[in-house]
Every structure is written in C-alpha cells, then in structure tokens.
Amino acid sequence: MGYFSEYLNTIEQPEHRQKMEHIFDWIDITFPELDKVIKWNQPMYTHHGTYIIGFSKAKAHMSVNPEAAGMKPFIKRFEKDGYTFTENLFRIKWTDEVDYELLKDIIEYNLKDKAETTTFWRHYK
C-alpha cells in the first residue's frame, strides 16, 4: 500500500481499513498511470497534475469524490446501488458492496473529460 499507509492506519475498524485498502489496491492495478497524493489530509489520485478522484473516511461510510462534473453522468447508478450522494461526492457505507464497475467508469470518464485540463480542479462557469 505504501503511500496511503499512514492514512489507512487512521481507520480504527480493521474491516473498514481493509475495504478502503482493497479499493486503493484495485485502483493501483487497474489504473497504474494514476499518481497518488495526499491533500487536505485525504488520499487522492491525479493524472498529469489534475485531480481524478479522492476518498475520505467517516464513521458509517467512505466518501468518494470525483468532482461535481464527474458525478452527473452516474446519478442513476448511485441510486441503483443505494449510495447516498451530494453534488460532489457519493457515500459507500462500510456494509455496502463496492461497485467496482462504477468506480472504473467514473475514473475513465474523468481521465477522458480532463485529458486537456492543466489545473488541479475543473473551472466551473
């Protein structure tokens, strides 16, 4: 796990830590071109210096943040999976199954949509 180990070690429940670690391992294998960074005390993945997806932990869930533009195409799938969401993030309860196909589609969407982006965040108009 390496780079995100310190963050993972702050998750008290071993099952929760393992679940998030599994997601990070899956991303590392599926998208080896992504860079890992910690910003604002949260693990994030970037590509060519632009934000792709980030994660944070809470007592009952983990939050996944692909930015608002990275959320919009997937709202119906969040609802289908039973994930609660806001404009910028969706929540996977520690007791929920992880929809890896959804994560893959979100990351691929952001990689394509932000291919020419030269800033960390998207600029909204």
DSSP structural state of residue 90: E
Q: How far apart are CA 91 and CA 121, in angstroms?
A: 21
Per residue of the chain (125 residues), give pLDDT as tens.
467 988 898 999 999 999 999 999 999 999 999 999 999 889 999 999 999 999 999 999 999 999 999 999 999 999 999 999 999 999 999 999 999 999 999 999 999 999 998 888 887 64
- DSSP assignment of 24-83: HHHHHHH-TTPEEEEETTEEEEEETTEEEEEEEE-SSEEEEE--HHHHGGGHHHHHHHT-
**In CATH, 2-113 is 3.30.300.160:** no
| Strand-pair category, 35-39 with 50-57 | unpaired
- Indicate the domain borders of the chain: 2-113
pLDDT at 118: 86
Q: Record the tokens describing residue 100, joined without a space.
A: 């890896």
